[in-house]
């Protein structure tokens, strides 16, 4: 399966900007005053890292859309 989209659940406002996602997948996640997703990144090159970041997120705000 390919990752077609990665985003943060902005509705929940739960991101605590801990930086863990950037530590795990710095090519995809950037943390400053807020956390952002680099939409220009080739998500499929970093599939394992993105999934690890999502599973490791203490607030569970990283969302992934996978397609065949």
- For 20-29, the pLDDT digits (tens) are 999 999 999 9
How many domains, the chain?
1
Instruction: Tell me the C-alpha distance between 13 and 3, whole Å.
Output: 24
Question: Quick one: average pLDDT of 59-68?
Answer: 93
Q: How confident is the model at residue 13 (pLDDT cuts 50, 70, 90)?
A: confident
Instruction: Tell me the C-alpha distance between 16 and 31, whole Å.
Output: 10
The residue range of the domain holding 12 is 2-67
* Predicted local distance difference test score (pLDDT) of residue 39: 96
How would DSSP label each residue in 4-65?
Answer: EEEEE-GGG-------HHHHH-TTTEEESSSEEE-TTS-GGGGHHHHHHHHHH-TT--EEEE
CATH number at residue 56: 3.30.70.20
- For 24-56, the pLDDT digits (tens) are 999 999 999 999 999 999 999 999 999 999 999
* Predicted local distance difference test score (pLDDT) of residue 10: 80
């Amino acid at each position: 399966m390919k990752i077609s989209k990665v985003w943060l659940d902005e509705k929940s406002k739960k991101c605590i900007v801990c930086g863990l996602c950037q530590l795990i997948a710095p090519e995809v996640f950037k943390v400053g005053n807020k956390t952002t997703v680099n939409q220009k990144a080739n998500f499929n090159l970093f599939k394992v890292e993105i999934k690890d970041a999502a599973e490791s997120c203490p607030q569970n705000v990283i969302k992934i859309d996978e397609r065949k």
